[in-house]
Chain A
Amino acid sequence: MTLLRVEGLTKSYVRRRNVFGQVIDRVEAVRDVSFSLGHGETLSIVGESGAGKSTVGRLILRLIEPDAGSVVLDGADIRAMSRATLRAHRCDMQMIFQDPFSSLDPRMDIGRSIEEPMLLHLGLSADERRARSLAVLKRVGLDESYARRLPSGLSGGQLQRVAIARALSLNPKIIVCDEPVAALDVSVRAQVLNLMSELQEEVGMSYLFISHDLSIVRAISDRVAVMSKGQIKEIGATEQIFAEPQNDYTIELVRAIPAMAFG
C-alpha cells in the first residue's frame, strides 16, 4: 500500500540576474521527480553530490517550496496545505540529518531537545513529555542519565541516536534520513543502521534514505532510486539495480563501487 506519492516534483534556483533584476540563468536542482513509498518500506535515493537527492528530501517535507509537482502523504496533499494544517501534519514526517552535532542546540540538555518537538506538536503535560522522552531514549539504547547531559559530552554515534529518538517521539509515518551515518565511524555506523532496522520492524514506519554510500544502500534498502543532475535515472528493487543496472549512469556508478580485493 502506498504511503507517499510524489509526482512531477520540480525545483529550480536562480543562478544569475541581469542589472534589471531579470533572471538570465536558472539551475534546475530537481526536475520532474516521481516515485512512491509504501508502508514500512525503505527507499534509498543515491547519486553524486549535487544530484539533487537532499533537495528532494527537503521538498517532500516542504522545508523548501517546490515550483511544481505534488506530494501526497496518506491521501493528504502536502503542497496544498495551509501553514497551520502543514504544522499538524509535521508529526507524520520527521527528518534525521547528516551532522548530529549541528542538529542539536549545544546549550539545551538532551532531555529537553527531545521534549521540544512534543511541546510543539502533541500538547502533552510536562510529566507525560518527560516520561515519553525517557522511554524513547531507552529505546535507542541510552539510559536516563543522558537526558541531563549536554550534546558536547556525547559521541557522534550517541548524538545520532538522540536525533533518532527525537524523530521517533512523535510516532512519524515516514522518516527522511539524509546521510544519517556518513559522519560516523565504521564500527559505530552498523550500530545505528541496525537500530534503524529494528525500529522499523517494531513501529512500521517508512524510511526515505538519502545516501552516496552504495554498499550501505545495498544492505538496507527495499528499493533504490538513482539520481543524476536533478532527475531520477532509474528506480527499482535493490538487487535489480545492483545486479542488472539498465541506465548508463547507473552502470557507471555501480562499476565504481570499490570492491574488496581479498577475503
Chain B
Amino acid sequence: MQSDTLLQVRGLAVEFQIGGQWTRVVNDAWLSLARGETLGLVGESGSGKSITSMAVLGLVSELGGRVASGSVRFDGEEVVGAKQGVLRRLRGQRIGMIFQQPRRSLNPAFTVGDHIAETIRRHSRVSRAEAWKRAVSLLDRVGIPRAAERASDYPHLFSGGMCQRVMIAMAISCEPKLLIADEPTTALDVTVQAKVLELLRELVRESGMAMLFISHDLTVVSEVTQRVAVMYAGQTVEVGTTRQIFSQPLHPYTKALLASIPGAGRQQRLKVIDGSIPPPTRMIPGCRFNPRCDCRLSDQCQSRPVELVEMPDERSVRCLRADLAVAS
C-alpha cells in the first residue's frame, strides 16, 4: 500500500437482516482516498453510500448489520474486524464525522461549548479549562460570531447553519486525518449552504485533512471535490477525477444522472431515467442498471455480474460497454 493512500475500501459487501433474511445492501464497493484529498461519494437513496461510510468507521455491527466480505484499510490499519479499542481511537480522533441533521446530533441539555470540550477531553489528556479554551477557539475558527459568549449557549439558540458549524467544530477538534461529511448541507437553505461549503473547503485547504463528501447533489459535489465515486444499487459503478466524471462520464447511469439535472432556462421536458432503483431484496442478476439502460446488450449485460474495470486514463467503470463511451 502506498504511503500517500489514507483510505482504501476494496470489494466491500455489507448485509442487513430484512424480513429475517441476511440481504446484501452494499455489494462490491471500492474507494480510495489520498491524504488531503476530497472525494465525492454520489448516489441516490438506497445506493449504499451512507452504509459504506459507516463501514469506514467500523459501525456496521452497531447498526445491526455485518460486513460479509472485503476490506477497509485506514492509515495502514484494517478496520473490518478490528477490536473496540482500536475503533474508539479511530472515531472522533482520527476520523471526524458530520451529518445531515445537525440539530438532531446535538444534545439539547448541554451547551455547544460542552459538546466540543467533551470531545476534546475524550481523546486527549487536557484540563477542563484548557478544553473549554480550545472549544472557544474552534467555534471562532468555524465562524461563530462572539464565540467566547456563544459557547455557553444551548443548541436551540442556534440556527440550522450555525448548528452545522458547531458539528464541524466538534468533528475537527481532534485534528482528524479524515472528515466524513454525510449530506452536510442538504437540510440547509441555499445561501447558508454556500457559506458552509466555503468553510469546509477552507478547512480542508488549511489543515491538510482528507474529506469524504457524501451527497446526492451533483452540482454541490462538482464544486467541492477533486475525485468522485458514483454508487448505484450498492455498487461502485464509476470512479474518476471530478473533471472526468462531469465532462466525460463513461457509465450510462452517471450520464443519465447528469442529464437529469435541469439546465438554465424554461424547458419543455426534463431528461428522465425510466424505471426505479431495484430494492436490495429483489436484486437483479447481471448489470444492476441494465433494465434502465439505453445501450445494454441483451445477453451479456443481463446474464452475469459486471466487474469494476480500470480504464487506461486511471478511472474505473463497471460497464461492458464503456469502450463505446470512450470511442465516442
Contact = CB atoms under 8 A, between A and B. Distances in A.
Interface string A180-197: 000001111111011001
B270 A194 contact: yes
B219 A48 contact: no
Interface string B236-280: 000000110011000000001110111111111111111011000
Interface string A194-228: 10010000000000000010111011111000000
Given A48-B189, A185-B216, A215-B262, A258 B246 contact: no
Given A193-B270, A263-B247, A185 B264 contact: no
Looking at chain A's contact residues, the main secondary structure is: helix
Interface stretch (A23-31, A72-80, A121-129, A249-257): A249-257
Given A190-B271, A222-B266, A215 B243 contact: no
B217 A258 contact: yes
Interface in A233-263: 238-239, 242, 252-253, 255-263
A161 to B, nearest CB: 11
Given A186-B216, A186-B261, A261-B246, A256 B190 contact: yes
A261 B266 contact: no
B267 A219 contact: yes
B220 A258 contact: yes
Most buried by B among A157, A255, A257: A257
Contact of A194 (B216, B263, B272, B276): B272
Contact of B264 (A157, A188, A218, A263): A218
A256 B222 contact: no
Contacts of B267: 219-220
B75 interface: no
A259 B194 CA distance: 11
Nearest to A195: B272
Contacts of A259: 219, 223
A65 B267 CA distance: 36
A262 B262 contact: no
B261 A215 contact: yes
Interface residues of A, number: 38
Given A215-B262, A218-B265, A221-B266, A186 B218 contact: yes
Contact of A218 (B45, B246, B262): B262
Nearest to B279: A155
A220 B263 CA distance: 11
B270 A186 contact: no
B290 interface: no
A187 B242 CA distance: 20
Interface string B268-305: 11111110110000000000000000000000000000
Nearest to A261: B222
Contacts of A191: 272-274
A258 B266 contact: no
A214 B266 contact: no
B44 interface: yes
Contact of B269 (A197, A212, A260): A197
Most buried by A among B193, B216, B222, B266: B266
A212 B272 CA distance: 21
A185 B277 contact: yes
B191 interface: yes
Nearest to B263: A219
Contact of A256 (B194, B216, B276, B277): B194
B246 A219 contact: no
A194 to B, nearest CB: 5
A103 interface: no
Interface of B: 44-45, 160, 189-194, 197, 216-220, 222-223, 242-243, 246-247, 256-258, 260-274, 276-277
Interface of A: 48-49, 155, 157-158, 185-191, 193-194, 197, 212, 214-216, 218-222, 238-239, 242, 252-253, 255-263
10 contacts: A157-B276, A186-B257, A220-B266, A252-B191, A253-B191, A258-B193, A260-B218, A260-B219, A261-B246, A262-B243
